[in-house]
Structure 1
Amino acid sequence: MTSTQRSEIANMMLKAYVPPGCAMNMFVRHYMRLQHDHEADEGYEEKRKKMAKPVLHVNLAIEEHASKIYTRAMFEQFGHNLYQAGAYKIEEVEKGKVYLAKHTKPHKREKWSRVILEIKMVDEGEYFECECGWFEHMDVPCCHALKVMDYLGIEEIPGKHIMKRWTWDARDILPKHLQIYQNDHASSRFFTYRHSTILKKALELVRLGDASAEAYERLDALFNNDLIAMAHHM
């Protein structure tokens, strides 16, 4: 997603909450309401994840992989694209490099709609570049690229097609000097078992404490009380 698109999305979100020309104190109040609603939506996503497993519609290995990494809303978008992929057939132009996705019912498409698209395989399958430009704008693989992946028997979404902000680890983004503690950097850690166990529980507490203002206040009070108690016993 480009910086211009991100700016437009941010402006659209603000316009839904903040009246034009409002005073600074009113802007802050409305912005806090926007943030509260956003946190509530994230909490709803977490609840959906815990209550029920995502439903697989096409029963492909790549769909199962998507269900494990994407948030529920993004997985639904991925599933829609995967379903749309069924309307195409693949023609190999250059093995391991260039493929054509051809719609199986071109006569039923709109006249302005393209029925043949070229997909280029880059870095031996690490990335698929499609003429439709869907991934560059939406950060989720398009139906044409997914059809090529299925044609090649790829069972997991290539790493370069996974945008962290659409995954369950989206909140797990730390400053550069702390990135070794992120879930997706686990392989680079060399900690003791005790360190790893305590760290994992501490990060989970931080995640829960960041869910809302009330949760933050409770966790902050808990930390303060426990630190005082520990100081008296040392």
Structure 2
Amino acid sequence: MPTFIHVFEPRYRLMMRRVLDSDRRFGMLLHNPEQIPQPGLATTPPFFEYGTLLHIVSAQLLPDGRSLIEAVGISLFRVLRHGVRDGYLVGSVERVEDLPLADEEALEIADTTSTTDAGAEEETEVSPFATHSTQDLMALCTAFVRRMRAASAPWMHARTLRVYGECPASPAQFPWWFASVLPLPEADKYALLLTTSVRERLKICAAWVERIERVPEPNRSSSCVVI
């Protein structure tokens, strides 16, 4: 999905110049203002542990030193170590790959054929969508998109679709598109980065749909305040 960035702080102007002079790649991380501990890092950083690797596809350099950047996401990563260089964060990361198709299929089979053990001593929290097939999860989400478009939801405006494109038919691409157009808090969207399973991401999207549809109908298509 495309990302648009207005770069104006001097430290990030310098960073972007260096990125443009190299491989045009940089990482984006979600701010961690509440200093929530990150399991894989020894210290509590001002950012969350998982992020997105971006590639700059176009850059407009303005006369006053600012720049307008368009970038696209190419992979996920996890921060291993971090530091500061000339005022901006740098670090060592490892790329995070999605599960191979065979593993996804095995996960779906395990989910959809599992039954509840009535004699279990401890209850575990199970997603209400756990036994849905991946195809059904995708159908649930795309049907919601069609309903919201028919209802003229502001986040389905033609301008938004010109930027992010039409609703993708690919289950692998859909969660990223949905998170890009749906006006959710960024902290909610971060959940997509914490799994390497397309199926699990679709469950997250289905849960968003369920939460929105619990809201009285006149308010459903407004904005992120509904959830």
TM-score normalised by structure 2 residue count: 0.23
TM-score normalised by structure 1 residue count: 0.23
More strand by share: 2
More helix by share: 1
State the structure with more CA Rg. Answer: 1
